[in-house]
Amino acid sequence: MNLEITKAIKNEVVNFKSPNPAFYEALGHDGMQKLMYSFYDNIYDSDIAHFFPQDPEEFEKVKIKNTKFFIQICGGPSVYDEEMQGKKDLDQYMIDIHKDFSIYLKSRNEWLGTFREVLEELDIDEEIKEDFWQYLDKFSKLTVNRWPKESAYVN
């Protein structure tokens, strides 16, 4: 199984597609919820925990909201629509939400690495898992909004 974190490049045109609905079909609602809650529990103990509310009740709301996003983007029921406040494009909405945060390459890599840990534990078809990973890897490039400054002294 290839769950490689590919390099994000500033101003890169990123072509991606939503995950194969087979991912949601393999896990179902309860499996998606378990996956996402495991992921966010690990995030809470990661180097990017500061991006998330530290109050347990507020953090629980984030887990619920983001679980809805992943259920819907993976072909499950349209449970995230009410969060989008009338916007049509689910992916663009999620990109816009991340503009409020300073997301560096290191943050993206930490997020993906944490996701990879929970995906490796899943007992589903490897192809389905890799397809979902491709979505995460490519889509996450679009959330990076802080890039290292280039220097004339670095080759």
Question: How much is the average pLDDT of 96-102?
Answer: 80
Domain boundaries of the chain, sorted by first residue? 22-141
Sign of CA dihedral 66, 62, 86, 107: negative
Q: Can you give the pLDDT at residue 153?
A: 52
pLDDT-based confidence at residue 82 (cuts at 50, 70, 90): confident
Answer whether 0.75 is exceeded by the pTM.
yes
* pLDDT above 70 coverage of the chain, percent: 92
Q: How far is CA 12 from CA 96, 107, 139, 144, in A?
A: 17, 18, 12, 11
Q: Can you give the pLDDT at residue 155?
A: 43
Q: Can you give the pLDDT at residue 154?
A: 47
Q: Encode pLDDT of 51-73 as tens digits.
A: 999 999 999 999 999 999 999 99
Q: Can you give the pLDDT at residue 102?
A: 86
Is the CATH code 3.50.50.60 the one for domain 22-141? no
Q: For 155, which DSSP code?
A: -
